[in-house]
Structure 1
Amino acid sequence: MRCYLAKVLHFLRSWTMSVENYLTPKSLKRAGSPAPEEQPLPKILVAEVEKVKVKKRMCALLMMYSGWGYFGMQRSPTHPTIEGELTKALISCGYLIDSSPEEYRKVWFQRASKTDKSVSAIGQVCSMLVSHYTGQHFFQSHRFTFSYVSNSNPFLAFPKLPENEEIKTKMNAVLPDHIRILVPPVFRTAVWAAHHRVYDYFFPTFTLAPHDLSGGDQAHWNYRVSAERLTQANEVLKRFRGTHNFYNFTSGRDATDKSCYRYIISIKCLPPALFGDHEYAVIRVIGQSFMLHQIRKMLGLMFAIVRGIATEEVFDLVFRPERVDVPKAPGLGLMLNQVVYTRYNERYGQDGIHAPIDWSKYEDDMALFRMKYVYEHIDKTEFEERSYPFTFSSCSDMMTYDMLDWLESLNMHSYYFRPPGSPVNLPPNPGESTEACVMNHPEQPKFTVPATDSETTALST
């Protein structure tokens, strides 16, 4: 490729010399033109050559963002999203022409994972083809520009690939402070190369307290979780490990849809720590991919069991193809911690062309961002604002960002079968066993529940 470009450059320079020889003082004098010393030099000469393939390279954007106030990651024409902010920055910096879907297809834009409304990310990954032009002309599709300022200084404005630090600096200068990007070296693709995703859920530990804890809000904030409670929570979380049918932990999918089967590698509640005067803990979930609301419903069911509102017998029902009423935890504390590229690093990390995706290089930046824009905001919202923005007719559709208010709604769920097409729960008949209830309602798998959010694709939470 370099040899080919060198030949093209040599040809164009030779052509320039022939043009200069044609415009010699001799020819100008025969035409009655002014003397050579009086002839002004042309300021610019442009020759555009059509249908020349522009050189591009795949670039990874490691993103950190606070999802508060955004309707998820994916672009939306009517709501503010993270990709909407990213699109504005890409256009402003000259890495994207416009926000049309066709333009995104041209640059092969991909995201490694989607996040739901108000969900943050510390290790999101997007990939796209990057190129831009030097000189006076930016982004002239399928063409390059040949120009010169004087007869003695011709040059060809070939596309110049921007450096990683240049992309990082320019993008962060126009992005909001709560959205930051890091740019590693040459990359291949963001989605299919991902091995697994790591999500964290940051929550106040009074969520694990008994449901009959008295003393009001202050008693909840003064609560300190015991080792026994943490052990109980981890025992419940172990029930989610492995491959299961998570049909009851998502929406917008049919009970017989094979994509409802997901593999959970690990899920564990980490030791608590004080954040100011309040105690918080983190639940870390590792899996290959996740569906819409999956993690939030998994944790909502765990909180209900640990608080004594539901029993572990519900696990005999939730992995069945019948719809069961399961609560959904608030999305405020959920964040995408990182996307792991184990197999990608093994295959391409040492080939001399691509570079491995190593999150350890950015641990300090990620820790500062997590503390300033995620943890502090969660604590402020939980303790000070007590926001309760949306309440719908169905308790299953109730959306809260305040943990104390959400805990009160756990008693509104039955943790049992729900009749098709209705948010009202199906109570068991007196003396009827679980097996008998399933046999008496065989039509359950035929029905689906419509999605409550605009995002209904996989790799969402």
Structure 2
Amino acid sequence: EYTPLVDENGQPIPKAPRKPKRKVAVMLGYCGTGYNGMQVQNDPNVKTIEKDIYDAMATAGAISAENAVDLKKSGFQRAARTDKGVHAAGNVISLKMIIEDPEIINKINDLLPKQIRIWGIQRTTKGFDCRKCCSSRIYEYLLPTFSLLPPKPKSVLSELVKEKKLENPDLFEDDQEGIDWWENVKSKILASGITQEQIDSITSSYDEQQQQQQQQQQQQADEEERDVSELSFTKLIKQIKTIENQSRRSYRISSSRLQHFREVMKQYEGTHNFHNFTVGKPFKDTSANRFMIKTIVSDPFVIEGTEWISIKIHGQSFMLHQIRKMIAMAALVVRLSLPCGIINNFFQSTKINIPKAPALGLLLENPVFDGYNIKLTKSDYEPIDFTKFDKEMNEFKMKYIYDKIYAEESKENIFYGFFGYIDAYRGNKNEDGEPIQNGASIFDFLFNYTERVENTKNKDAKNTSKTEESKPEESKPEESKSEQS
């Protein structure tokens, strides 16, 4: 039943002349900074990408006044939902719009903030739903190349690697480049006037401080009440961190290290069980099986003195935290000089705890509609294709997405802090400093990994044996047939 709109005095507003509405796909991009995600919220005061877009469309005349109060009336749908602060170079929304005005895109863009852009609007079939018709999605992750450097010598992780190399000498590859890099950093520290004795005296305390800074907020004590030696110690740590940070910023990745990372990322391609790369998914949950179509790691590029690489992951679908965990594990494999094939171990039933790489570097590149585009072209419509907007999208990404990521890393040292925390992580231990047997650790892939895999295999074999023993003899042929299917 139609309910007329009313003015501020409660009087009915005459219904505007009816204009034809067409089902369309709207291709857009946005910088998520300052927004509470893509999807519109029930609270009208919550700032979202969709609310700003829909309001601009209504003001520009692309949405009728009667439909402007509710997205559902226009059949509004989004191809991919992004969370608070997350960016998208390309995304798609589908809805019914008034598109008879040839300048409608320019009019909508003029009403939008510069960090939200409409790339194109095109007709689709009446039944088009961009979420259901999306065949795959491409995400991009920006990573500073210093993230692939080996852990700091004498750090917790470095000492763990040294211990595991003695136990499994064939597992780790040589990394002379990494050794030489840290020796060069040490030379710079010594050249600044800091002695070897001072470096040794703060190493363990430095590691513990790195971990505490990540696990809890440090209370800011009044400097006037601090002991002079404590201030000197803090100043010394800051001086060393500054030299290390400057060295990381000036790091340029070698071709061999970059190739190692590319080969590790290639291990994700194909259909695998990614239960270890998300949360709350057991191995036997079939929804943990995901198909990664392609991974591409760019050549390095330098922004304001820091070298970065772009990683693009094209997958059919993704789970919560999956991309961030994929990036973190790939980086750890390279940092620890492990063979790229070790990634395949994490698709097995053994539970491995993997840290999440910072959310800072993640953005949606664009959704893909390969399957539906065939249907569109058969119906004489243009395919949904972002490549025709490459120039505008690249300019937008550089100014409104990439630059914000670079600026935040430069100011907050997000990646430096994340990998510093990884290097200093001591795992779950009791009051005596001994490992808790059942405690979860992000280094499960190093701590007793072989034993964990064997225990899992033995447990599975034991369960299988019990199952077989409990079955009647005549049921076994049917079971075999079931397993083959």
The separation in 1 between residues aligned to 2:458 and 2:65, in whole angstroms, is 58
C-alpha distance in structure 2 between counterparts of 1:263 and 1:96, whole Å: 41
Identity, in percent, stands at 32
Query: Which aligned pairs between 1:59-458 and structure 2 lie closer than 5 A?
Result: 59-77=24-42, 80-94=47-61, 95=63, 103-131=70-98, 161-163=99-101, 165-166=103-104, 168-188=105-125, 189=128, 190-212=130-152, 213=182, 214=185, 215-308=243-336, 315=343, 317-321=345-349, 323-349=351-377, 351-352=379-380, 354-383=381-410, 385-386=411-412, 402-411=414-423, 412=425, 432-437=451-456, 439=458
1:39 is matched with which residue?
Answer: none
Q: What code does the residue aligned with 1:126 have?
A: I
CA displacement 1:407-430 (0-9 Å, x = unmatched): 122233869xx999x866796679
1:263-284: per-residue Cα shift (whole Å, max 9, x none)?
A: 0011121111222422211111
> How much has 1:73 moved relative to structure 2?
2.3
1:175-233 CA-to-partner distances (Å, cap 9, x unmatched) read 22111112232124322333322221122111122222444110000000010011110
Match of 2:236 in 1: none
Partner of 1:456: none
Q: TM-score scaled to structure 1, two decimals?
A: 0.66
Task: Return the alpha-carbon distance in structure 1 between the equivalents of residues 352 and 450 of structure 2.
Answer: 19
Q: CA distance change for structure 1 residues 379 and 176 in 2, over 3 Å: closer, same or farther?
A: same
Amino acid corresponding to residue 134 of structure 2 in structure 1: A
- In the superposition, relative to structure 1, how do residues 321 and 434 fare at CA in structure 2: closer, same or farther (>3 Å)? closer
SS at match of 1:198: strand
Root-mean-square deviation (Å): 3.6
> CA 1:414–1:423 in 2, change beyond 3 Å: closer, same or farther?
closer
Question: Residues 124 and 336 of structure 1 are in contact (CA less than 8 Å); yes or no, is this contact kept in structure 2?
Answer: yes
CA separation of 1:171/1:430 partners in 2, compared to 1, >3 Å: closer, same or farther? closer
The one-letter code sitting in structure 1 at the alignment partner of 2:396 is F
After superposition, the Cα gap between the structure-2 partners of 1:84 and 1:304, relative to the gap in structure 1 and judged at 3 Å, is: farther
Measure how far apart 1:64 and its partner are: 0.9
Q: Distance in 1 between matches of 2:36 and 2:107?
A: 25
Instruction: Identify, as 1 or 2, the structure richer in helix.
Output: 2
- SS of corresponding position for 2:143: strand
Distance 1:294 1:128 in 2: 30
CA distance in 2, matches of 1:179, 1:426: 41
What corresponds to 1:449 in structure 2? none
Assess if the C-alpha contact under 8 Å between 2:267 and 2:341 holds in 1.
no
Aligned-partner Cα distance in 2 for 1:364–1:287? 24
Distance in structure 2 (CA, Å) of the matches to 1:217 and 1:98:
57
Contact kept? 1:90, 1:96, Cα under 8 Å: no
My pick for the range that moved more, 109-118 or 174-183, is 109-118
2:355, 2:442 within 8 Å by CA — same for their partners in 1? no
Q: In structure 1, how many angstroms separate the alpha carbons of the residues matched to 2:437 and 2:73?
A: 46
One-letter amino acid matched to 2:451: E
Q: What SS does structure 2 have at the residue aligned with 1:223?
A: coil
Cα 1:381–1:116 change in 2 (3 A) is same
Shift of the alpha carbon at 1:322?
5.0
Distance 1:265 1:430 in 2: 28
- Cα 1:414–1:47, aligned 2, differ >3 Å: closer, same or farther? closer
For residues 38-57 of structure 1, give each alpha carbon's deviation from its aligned partner in whole angstroms, at most 9, with x where no partner exists: xxxxxxxx9989xx997421
Larger of the two Rg values belongs to structure: 1
Specify the code of the residue in structure 1 equivalent to 2:406: D
Hey, what's the Cα distance between the residues in 1 that align with 2:426 and 2:109? 44
Describe the SS at the equivalent of 2:121: coil
Q: Structure 1's 87 and 254: CA in aligned 2 closer, same or farther, altered over 3 A?
A: farther
CA gap of 1:429–1:297, structure 2 versus 1, over 3 A, is closer
| 1:86 Cα deviation from its structure 2 partner | 2.6
State the shift of 1:329 in Å: 1.1
User: 1:251/1:117 Cα in 2 relative to 1: closer, same or farther (>3 Å)?
Assistant: farther
The unaligned stretches of length 5 or more in structure 1 are: 1-45, 132-160, 388-401, 443-461
Change (3 A) 1:437 1:171: same
Does the 8 Å contact 2:139/2:366 carry over to 1? yes
| Distance (whole Å) between structure 1 residues aligned to residue 18 and residue 458 of structure 2 | 63
Pair 430,368 (structure 1): closer, same or farther in 2 beyond 3 Å = closer
Instruction: Answer whether contact 2:350 2:453 (CA < 8 A) is retained.
Output: no
Please give the alpha-carbon distance, in whole angstroms, between the structure 1 residues aligned to 2:355 and 2:66.
41
Count of residues paired in the alignment? 345
Q: Secondary structure at the match of 2:336?
A: coil
On the 8 A contact 2:273/2:288 being kept in 1, the answer is yes
Q: CA distance change for structure 1 residues 307 and 99 in 2, over 3 Å: closer, same or farther?
A: farther
SS of equivalent to 2:360: coil
Amino acid at match of 2:402: Y
Q: Within 1, Cα distance between the matches of 2:345 and 2:393?
A: 39
Q: CA 1:321 to 1:110, structure 2 compared with 1: closer, same or farther past 3 Å?
A: farther
Residue identity matched to 2:325? K
1:370 CA displacement:
0.9
CA deviation digits over 1:139-159, x for unaligned, max 9?
A: xxxxxxxxxxxxxxxxxxxxx
